[in-house]
Amino acid sequence: MKQFIKDIKFMKQAMMRKVIYALIPIILSAIYFFGWRVLTLLAVVSFFGALTEWVFVRKTTGKITEAVWVTSILFTLTLPPSTPYWVAIIGIIFGVLFGKMVFGGFGKNPFNPALVGRAFIYVNFPSFMTVEWIQPFNGFPGGFAHYTGQLIDTVAEATPMLLFRSTGQMLDWNQVLLGNVSGSIGETSAILILLAGIYLLVTKTASKETVFSVLGSFIIMSLILTLLGFAQVPNPIYGLFSGGLLFGAIFMATDPISSPKTKEGRVVYGIIIGVVTVIIRGFALFAGGIMFAILIGNTFAPIIDEAVNALKASKKAKLAKEVSHG
């Protein structure tokens, strides 16, 4: 541990820093809604995420990527506020280790490391990830005057998607848009996530093809199923602004390493994620769905690029042949 603190060096990555800038308002709002435990959890997760990467790079480059900080922050923001520290530590170590370092480190991971870690603890510690939620604070100073909030023990005060699945009830739009609802640490405020998304798109940090294809396909698929009478699927707009869809589409699906490299491929990739999210939300056991949808999209990303490049090469060869015979 002392050696880690002594030898720590960072690899500067401007793109990763922009993502961190976009996340700062979301972190501050999370503290307001859920208390200072959010910050201590973030600090613990970031430390162990960086430590895990350092173990692998200490004898080569010796530098920790700024990407691991992004991974740690994103992972923390997808957790319920009451997640035990030890569960979060296991999750981030697993995510960085098996979602990134075993594949060769930064730039070689086929899956989003933050989601790999979250999926692991979601499956192995479901009670901490799906049952225990915190009642958000209201008014000034909100969570800035508290370490943490009260645990919720009734369905009527659960997260927007859990509430809809259990009772068919939808929360007030003001709550969903502002973030004054129970849920994962950084996924509740639709407005802040949208503003962060605009910043990332304007600075060309996030792929517009991915973001718009995820959101567009989600809306279309939700609308189709709603019109067909599937009561377990909420109307497209409510589904868009509740749960972790916006956060996943803007911060997770756009990971440049685990998503396709071609523009056409990113559109197909986004469509897969949007459609699969609706299917999982409506027909599977999970109230969210975006996490597993993105990991499924990651699986197909290399194949999608291969198919796109093959089609382009085929069209180019066909055009060249037509020209030569012209």
Residue 149 in contact with residue 81, Cβ under 8 Å? yes
Q: Which amino acid is at 15?
A: M
Q: Report DSSP letters for 186-224, one per residue.
A: TSS-HHHHHHHHHHHHHTT-S-HHHHHHHHHHHHHHHHH
Q: Is 152 helix (H, G, I), strand (E, B) or coil?
A: strand
Q: In the beta sheet, which residues pair with residue 303? A: none
Give me the residue spans of the domains in the chain: 2-310
Cβ-proximal residues to 159 (8 Å cutoff; 6+ apart), any chain = 133, 181, 182, 183, 184, 243, 287
> 258, 109 in Cβ contact below 8 A?
yes
Q: Can you give the pLDDT at residue 131?
A: 76
pLDDT at 121: 95
Residue 233 and residue 32: Cα distance in Å, rounded?
Answer: 31
Which amino acid belongs to residue 83?
T
pLDDT in tens, the chain (326 residues): 555 555 566 677 888 999 999 999 999 999 999 999 999 999 999 999 999 999 988 877 778 888 999 999 999 999 999 999 999 999 999 999 999 999 988 888 999 999 999 999 999 998 888 877 888 888 889 889 999 988 876 555 566 666 666 665 666 667 777 767 778 898 888 899 999 999 999 999 999 999 999 999 999 999 999 999 888 888 888 888 876 899 999 999 999 999 999 999 999 999 999 999 999 988 877 766 899 999 999 999 999 999 999 998 888 888 877 777 65
Per-residue pLDDT at 6: 55
SS3 324: helix
The predicted pLDDT at position 153 comes to: 63
Burial class (CB in 10 A: 0-12, 13-18, 19+), 296: middle
CA distances from 133 to 48, 76, 78, 183, 302 (A): 24, 15, 13, 7, 37
* pLDDT value, residue 165: 64
Whole-number Å distance between alpha carbons of 57 and 47: 15
What local confidence, expressed as pLDDT, does residue 29 receive?
A: 94
DSSP string, 99-150: HTGGGTSTT--SS-HHHHHHHHHHHH-HHHHHT-EEPPP-SSSGGGG-S--P
Q: Is 279 helix (H, G, I), strand (E, B) or coil?
A: helix
pLDDT at 126: 87
Dihedral sign from CA coordinates of 208, 212, 214, 215: positive
3-state secondary structure 285-300: CCCCCHHHHHHHHHHH
Residue 255's nearest CA partner among 241, 240, 270, 244 is: 270
Task: Quickly tell me which residue has 């070689």 as its tokens.
Answer: 108
Fold of 2-310: Ammonium transporter fold (1.10.3430)
Query: CA nearest 260: which of 273, 278, 248?
Result: 273
DSSP state of 249: I
